[in-house]
Every structure is written in structure tokens, then in C-alpha cells.
Amino acid sequence: MATRTEPGNNRRAQTHDSHHDHHHKHDHSRPKVTRRRIIWLIVGVVGIGALLAVRPILSGGSVTLPNQAQDLLTLAISVVVESLPFVILGIALSIVVQAWLPNDLLQRYLPKNPVLRRFFISLFGIALPVCECGNVPLARGLITQGFTVSESMTFLIAAPIINPVTIITTHAAFGFDDGILVARILGGLAIANIVGWLFSLHRKPHELLTPAFAAQCERGEEEHGTRWGKSIDIFVRETSVIMPALFIGALVAGAVQVAVPRDVLVSLGSNPLWSVLAMMVLAFVIAVCSSVDAFFILPFASTFLPGSIVTFLVFGPIIDIKMLAIMRTTFTTKTLLQLTVIVGLLSALLGLVVNVLA
């Protein structure tokens, strides 16, 4: 039997739904600043602030620490000092992409063909003078804007290698000697596109992401509100995720550098195979920013073969302790293990080829 609905009740129901929708939209317009985010934001900011505050104390010699502890703090501080400006710039660019640009602006002019599309995405870094740390929040922003996971990975791998600052500093350090600069640029682009293609074959790309970030991407499609409100939300969200990862990654990188003797790595420099592997290990533990890594590795050029130098310059900006800690905010551990193996094999192959041709 049909139930009769009175006009008054129907109007009240509509009014209730209208109020419900209004509150629902109003809730979406508020920045989603949760207690957990605030806690992690405080942890990251306080941790990084503490490292920076310790720097003048260590340099002034007013406090004496055991040598290993002092080396650990010094190395961790250097990682933070190199990375922090680019992380902040990356977060700012991520806010611009997610909150201020039209959703389809970046995708509007990209080719439809997946291979060509990823290739053009791998060139985004030319216009972005951001090192690898700052590219992580920007890559996260691309995913929330509708780019696929594989496209975001392609950008993430290529951008720190082909950004203009990296190219200029690499040329300043090596010029065109032994093809190091050319091999770095072309090799980095090739590896980025190969990795993007391999991960594009994954049948369930959302499983490559951490559950928290995958859920965030789904919520992002429903978010409304002012651009300023969304900007604040993105800033708090990205800072609360990236800053603690940078702090922890810097400490781990410093600890590993103290524990691993460089003399062992340097002794392998003249062997075509072992020199490549040694440089991969060095790049992994040093965690130096891509904008200055060419000057860091320049003194090793007289000891190590050119291919191993190229391997360092290609592998390091993609895979190191600090980057894995930061990328873990976005990708699952399994994804990062797969990424490390693929990039490691391709970087080693590139280094061996350069050693043969040089």
C-alpha cells in the first residue's frame, strides 16, 4: 500500500536535506586540520628547528660531544639545510597546482598517447628549479589533480635530474668531459620513462599508494570551499607529512654515513663493476641534494671511472635514505622496494655502458 506524504512533511524533509547539504558543504570548506596532523607538524618543525639550533653550538665549539655523535649531527644538519628550502618551495608549488590552477590546465595540452604523455611529463622539471625533496609534495599534488601514479613517478624521477639548477651545476663541475653531463640528462630521462611505463602496467595502481594517501586522493575529489581555505589545508597536510619524514631521514642518513667507512668505497674506484656498485651505495647513504651533488662527487672523479660518477648522479637523486623516508608518505613499502630495484638495475646498466664507451 502506498504511503501518503503530506506536503508539509515533504517541505520539512526538503528543508532538513537542504540544511544537511549546507552543513555538509560547509564542513568541506573548512581546512581538515586534525589533531594527528598538528602533532606530526609539531614533531617535524620542532625536530628540524632543534637541528638548526644545534648548528651554531657545534660550530662554535662551546659544547663538546663524542666524535661520532658530532659527526652524526653535523651530517644530519647538512641534509636539512640543503633540503629544507626546496621542500618549502615544493609545498608551495603543490598548493598552486592543487588549489589555484584549473583542474585540467596541466593536462589540457598533454598528448593522449600514454608514452608521449609520460615523456612530456618527464620534462616538467625543466621549469621547476626544485630538488628531489621538494618534488615529492608536488608529485602528490599531481596525483590529487588526476594524474596517474605512473605519471607522477615519471615526473618524480626525472625532475631533479633535468631541473636547470642541476644541469648548470653539473656542467660547472664536469663540463662535457667523458659525457657525464649528457649521460646524466639522457639517462635520467630514459630511466624515468621506463619506470613510468613499468608501473603503468600495474592493474590496481591505487595499491601502489599508502592507504592514507589513497583515501586523501578520493576525498580531494569531493572537496569544496575557498581557495585560501584549501591552501591552508594543503599546507598543514603536506607539512605535517613531509617535515617529520625529512627530520627522520636526515638523522638516519647521518647515522649511516658515520657507520659506513668511505675508505672501503674509495678502494673500489678503479674496477668497472665494483666502482658502479660502490657509487650506488655512496649515493644511497650520503643523501646529498641533486642541485649540489656534482660538486660533492667531483673530488672522486680522479679515482672513480666516469660510468660510476654517472651512476651516482642518476641513482642518488631518485633513491637515497632521505628520499625513501619522504616517499614513504605516498608510496607503500612494497612499491618503494620495487622502485629501488628497478632504478638500481637501470642506473648500474647506464654506468657500465658509460664505462665501456668512455
Mean pLDDT of 291-310: 85
DSSP states along 116-174? HHHHHHHTGGGG----HHHHHHHHHHHHHTT--HHHHHHHHHHHHHHSHHHHHHHHHHH
Q: How far apart are CA 135 and CA 137, in angstroms?
A: 6
Q: Convert the pLDDT of each residue in 119-173 to its tens digit.
A: 999 999 888 767 777 788 888 888 988 899 999 999 999 999 998 888 988 998 8
Length reported for the chain: 358
Distance of alpha carbon 88 from alpha carbon 95, whole angstroms: 11
- In sequence order, the 6+-apart residues with CB closer than 8 A to the CB of 27 are none
What is the band of 61 on the pLDDT scale with cuts at 50, 70, 90?
Answer: low
Looking at per-residue confidence, does 166 or 38 come out higher? 166
Burial of 54 (0-12, 13-18, 19+ CB in 10 A): middle
CA dihedral of 133, 136, 138, 139, whole degrees rounded to 10: 150
Whole-number pLDDT of residue 33: 56
